[in-house]
Amino acid sequence: MPKNRSLTAQERTYGAPSSVLRRALMGGLVLAVLLAVAGLFAYLTRAESPASTQPSPAAKPTPQAASPEVTDGQREAVASPPRTSDPIAFAKAATKVLWTYDTRSFYRAEHIAGLKRWMTGEKEYADWGSVSDQVPSPVLWSRMHDNGQHASVKVGEGHFPQAFKTALAQDPGAITEAYVYAVTVTGKQSIAWKVSGAGAESRSTTLAVQCRPDKACALVGVLPSVAP
């Protein structure tokens, strides 16, 4: 890959069709929870083949040549999750870390480890696959490192999707088993790379966030479609 250009839009979305398909299927558990409390069927269900649910082969390690630069030990690849009981505030913070990265300074494994700290510890609800699919593959991370690519984010607003609010109003008690909320967040991601390259794009996502009354919020997963 030439050093003086950014990755293509397709590359920046980490958009291999198989990855998108896997995200949709791996989000099934999250969707089931949300359907029970929010009636999001029209937005989020998928009909892809179950064959794509098979686990992917183990990724090969990133080549040593693409090692990040030595960084200050006080820096973190991914910011720590906030201790809040507000699902919208948490979803906005989670969106920021999902869209922020620095391939110049951190290994992909460090980035992945940082994101895992945001996940709910309740395995029956956690959809780690939908979160890890937001991260570039080891090969793509290596290419991005060679290009000095990094991204920052300005988070805009967050809100409960209308379908979620409607369903919750109709059955307020439905959420009290899993305490999983759907939150849609918008923002702008700015990407920069070597030779003074830069670009920006507006983005939006819908996250599943768990906020039990006696615990700080945690991330459940990323929904395969944006719910308005």
Q: Which pLDDT value is given to residue 174?
A: 87
Domains of the chain: 87-223 (3.10.450)
Asked if pLDDT for residue 50 goes beyond 50, the answer is no
**Residues pairing with 189 in the sheet:** 153, 201
Q: Which pLDDT value is given to residue 94?
A: 98
Kindly report, residue by residue over 182-197, the tens digit of the pLDDT: 999 999 999 999 877 7
pTM, full prediction: 0.72
The burial class, CB within 10 Å (0-12 / 13-18 / 19+), for 76 is middle
CA distance 5 to 8: 9
Question: What contacts 130, CB < 8 A, 6 or more positions away?
Answer: 23, 26, 27, 30, 221, 222, 223, 224
Cβ(87)–Cβ(181) below 8 Å: yes
Q: Which pLDDT value is given to residue 65?
A: 37
Q: What percent of the chain has pLDDT over 90?
A: 61
Cβ(6)–Cβ(199) below 8 Å: yes
CA distance 1 to 171: 53
Q: How confident is the model at residue 70 (pLDDT cuts 50, 70, 90)?
A: very low
Nearest one of 7, 65, 27 to 222, comparing CA atoms: 27
Kindly report, residue by residue over 114-142, the tens digit of the pLDDT: 999 999 999 999 999 999 999 999 999 99
CA distance 150 to 88: 26
